[in-house]
Chains A and B, each alone.
Chain A
Amino acid sequence: MNGARTGTLASLRGSIARIEAPSDAAMPNRIALGHAGADAMLRGGLAPAALHEVFAAGHQGGAATGFIAGLAGLISARKPLVWVRQDFSDRENGALSMRGLAELGLDPRLLVTVRAADVDSGLRTAADALACDALGAVVLEIWGQARQLDLVASRKLTLAAQASGVTALVLRIAAAPIPSTAETRWIVRAAHSPPGNAASPWGAPRVEAELVRNRHGPVGRWIMEWKCDECQFSEPSAYPQPVAATPAHRPHQAQARAGHRLAS
């Protein structure tokens, strides 16, 4: 009896220690984003076969789309990608442009787009697609505070993702985070291009990504730049580090003149 109790206690302690261990060691199968700070916080990168959420304000649709496209490109790794999009999202933020996707270094040939009429059919389609293990990732894009995307729905998506090994990425524009079973949750907004002289190229996809939920570690906030040629995120080049608040107080008139570079 006593021996059995000590055994149970020992095993419980062991498992608590495993949970609490400050495992700096990277977890296996993680997909590195390329941004050193974020990767360290995520213990090697994003977990595949899980649900990840990206939130953005209504007017930040472009930046959020770029961020999730980058995540999808990294995770799917040359495997086909299903992007389920609500019709309303197309009207609000524009349709996903294939030329734009190619400009990010991703391959439009691997994309299958599903235009869902409403949230319900979008959710169902995403759950169906998650069951297909030939896919690299499934992106579900929902506009607005959708009542249907509750804890139960996210649990279903998570279970489907775990069963097939396909990663679920949910893009919620103009929505506030609610409890869900997501592995990670990000809030994304656009970040400035680095200051530079008039001739310096600007306009690389750059987002301020705030990790607000991380099931296995602390959270954080970084400026990430998507490297279109290398197809991964990185620390922003030539940017004063660290950046916390949004800089929105520059004398734009002068900047505009300085930044105005005529196309050759």
Chain B
Amino acid sequence: MGTALCQPTHGRWQDSLSRLRGRVGVGVLSTNNVLRKERAPTRIASSDAIRPPPQAGEAKKELPSVVVVKDHNAILLHAVDEAAVRAGLSIGLPLANARAICPELTVYDADPAADLKTLNDIADWCDRFTPLVALDAPYGLFLDITGCAHLFGGERALLQIVTNALSRRGFAVSAAIAGTSIAARTLTRHVSGKIVADGAEAQAVGPLPVSALGADSAVTTGLRRAGLKTIGDVAARAPHEISARFGAAFTTLLSHALGQGDAPISPRKPLPDYIVEKRFPEPIATDTVIALTLSSLAKMLVAAMDKQGKGARQLEASFFRTDGAVRAIMVETGRPVTRPEMIDRLFSERLDALNDPLDPGFGFDLIRLAAGRTEIVVQQQRDLDATVHDNDEISALIDRIAARIGGKRVVVHLPLESHIPERAALALPAQHHQAAASAAAWPERVAGEPPLRPLRLFEQPEPIKVPFASVPDGPPHQFTWRRALHAVVRVEGPERIAMEWWKQDGAALTRDYFRIEDAEGQRFWIFRDGLYESELRDEEDKPVPANWYVHGLFA
């Protein structure tokens, strides 16, 4: 059994949500659609989900239930179901009053985090309609359906699909389509299922009460006291009068609701450059079919990108389960990918290596492949220049390894301008920094000298026990590291490395490094932390013995 749209975390609403399993009745469209990023006159659908949270089946029991929230030491109703509304309860009422009105009340605590998660899950599900889905917290969603509606049989059908599917899951849905997001939201506050043609917003929202605008309660009350009961009434006044009384923000909100100007929605995810998807009349669940689908999608994606000479740097496959859960899997590449086999291979590596494998549950009814970031591909002569070929091979190898074990685990090294040994090099993801690393300038070694820096460097210098030194700031004669005693045979040093005293937090102690060889022939890089007498003093200004560390091992 798969998880449902939302996890039962807390309270009864979550409980009842978790029971909502089943098939989503999305229209069966076995078309393969290629969408391109475009900006045209926008059509926005807004749906207010969850808002009164009552659930299907609650009405039968006729026992009113409410969700309460604690606000400044008062317990107020946060949400009410239909039975509670019928009993005369409303949001914002103190719980004590509500109990007085309706003694047999079932009360649950509000859980805003779970609500937000549910809203996010619904937004994930809505990704199947359009890539531009924005949250309108706490209860709403905006879907920019510009250029998408015809794929679902028109705006009316799309609205129906969304409303039906969400209602079937037990959410109370109110949805509308309009030219601007605020107009659509205003419409949903009052009546569900409205579709407003472009330019007819003013007419549509005019008769609605001012509360539908969703402004502050102070503004709404003020308007009502001024005798302006509907949005039409407010719109009839001169804008400067409204601004003077209620502020410019409200005037802007009003003009957006009337369809004059638009506030952009902020989608949850950046719009991918290319999207290809496949819908299934019957949900699919087997690995073979999923792999076949992915490879055919990869071919379509590459064909679409190829027309514009692009290659993908970031790919995302989204698997939409019939029960509403969505799993997105992303792979990144170091170079633009232009071959479908490569995409195939990257995803098969990634899917193989997933810690929690792809769970088809009752099956996937939509699989989508999106190129999140693309680049123009520079075609190079391949068969004559061997280095071009080699570089491509290595990039492909890095991409494959990174797809399986993660991009941060495949690193190249860059020099850093620092005299502090542990900060002298930087390990960066190979996918993004390969070119920089191959052109990096490392410090030249001094010819004729033995290595002056160790081959292996500890990230954290390891403390060693030094019993005594002949002179306080001299090298040790023997030391104990990892419970083994090492007798020092040869010493070279000290090499004094001061910390970054010019920085605020650079108050670390000066280090004296010694290159030493022990009786077995092992060579270490050890240092004394702090200068004797000048830096190492206790509260009574007496010199204290220094700490010694081993920082690296020479070959």
Contact = CB atoms under 8 A, between A and B. Distances in A.
Interface of A: 59-63, 65-67, 69-70, 79-80, 82, 90, 93-105, 107-117, 121, 124-125, 128-129, 132-135, 189-193, 201-208, 226, 228-229, 246, 248, 250, 252-253, 255-256, 259-263
A69 B397 CA distance: 22
A111 to B, nearest CB: 6
Interface of B: 389-391, 393-394, 396-398, 400-401, 404-405, 409-413, 415, 421, 424-425, 427, 430, 434, 437-440, 442-445, 447-459, 475, 477-478, 482, 484, 487-495, 515, 517, 519-524, 552-555
B405 A125 contact: yes
Given A66-B555, A261-B491, 15 more contacts: A62-B524, A65-B455, A66-B455, A95-B456, A99-B425, A103-B455, A108-B425, A125-B405, A134-B394, A193-B490, A193-B523, A203-B517, A246-B520, A253-B477, A263-B492
A177 to B, nearest CB: 21
Given A69-B555, A94-B552, A109-B440, A101 B409 contact: no
Nearest to B490: A259
Contact of B555 (A95, A121, A134, A205): A205
B401 A90 contact: no
Nearest to B413: A98
B410 A114 contact: yes
Given A121-B405, A203-B492, A134 B393 contact: yes
A195 B515 CA distance: 16
Contacts of A207: 555
Nearest to B491: A260
- 3 A-B pairs with least C-beta separation: A66-B555, A62-B553, A259-B490
Contact of A60 (B444, B517, B522): B522
Given A102-B445, A121-B405, A252 B519 contact: yes
A63 B401 contact: no
22 contacts: A62-B454, A62-B456, A69-B455, A69-B555, A90-B459, A93-B456, A94-B457, A96-B455, A98-B415, A104-B451, A109-B440, A113-B411, A115-B411, A116-B409, A132-B393, A201-B449, A203-B490, A228-B450, A252-B487, A253-B477, A256-B488, A256-B490
A100 B390 contact: no
A64 to B, nearest CB: 9
B414 to A, nearest CB: 9
Contacts of B552: 94, 97, 100
B477 A256 contact: yes
Q: Is the interface of A mostly helix, strand, loop or mixed?
A: mixed
A114 B446 CA distance: 29
With most chain A CB atoms within 10 A of its CB, the pick from B453, B487, B491, B521 is B521
B517 A202 contact: yes
B42 to A, nearest CB: 46
B400 A203 contact: no
B405 A259 contact: no
A255 to B, nearest CB: 5
Nearest to B349: A128
B555 A65 contact: yes
A97 B456 contact: yes
B351 to A, nearest CB: 15
B450 A203 contact: yes
Contacts of A117: 405, 409
Given A102-B443, A132-B394, A259 B489 contact: yes
Given A100-B455, A109-B437, A109-B438, A252 B555 contact: no
B549 to A, nearest CB: 12
Contacts of B488: 252, 256
Contacts of B493: 262-263
Contact of B409 (A96, A115, A132): A115
A61 B434 CA distance: 28
A98 B425 contact: yes
Given A108-B413, A129-B397, A229 B553 contact: no
Contacts of B444: 102
Contacts of A256: 475, 477, 488-491
Given A109-B440, A134-B390, A94 B450 contact: no
B459 A94 contact: yes
Contact of A112 (B398, B442, B487, B519): B398
Contacts of B391: 134
A125 B520 CA distance: 35
Nearest to A114: B410
A263 B443 contact: no
Contact of A203 (B458, B478, B520, B523): B523
Contacts of A204: 450-451
B539 to A, nearest CB: 33
A110 to B, nearest CB: 8
A132 to B, nearest CB: 4
Contacts of A100: 451, 453-457, 552, 554-555
A256 B443 CA distance: 31
Given A97-B457, A259-B490, A62 B523 contact: yes
B553 A192 contact: no
B543 to A, nearest CB: 22
A63 B522 contact: yes
Nearest to B409: A115
Contacts of B448: 201, 229
B47 to A, nearest CB: 43
Contacts of A110: 438
Nearest to A82: B397
A138 B499 CA distance: 37
Contacts of B437: 109
Contacts of A190: 520-523
Contact of B445 (A66, A115, A124, A228): A228
A97 B490 contact: no
A114 B439 CA distance: 20
A252 B489 contact: yes
With most chain B CB atoms within 10 A of its CB, the pick from A61, A101, A116, A203 is A203
Nearest to B448: A229
Given A134-B394, A260-B475, A103 B517 contact: no
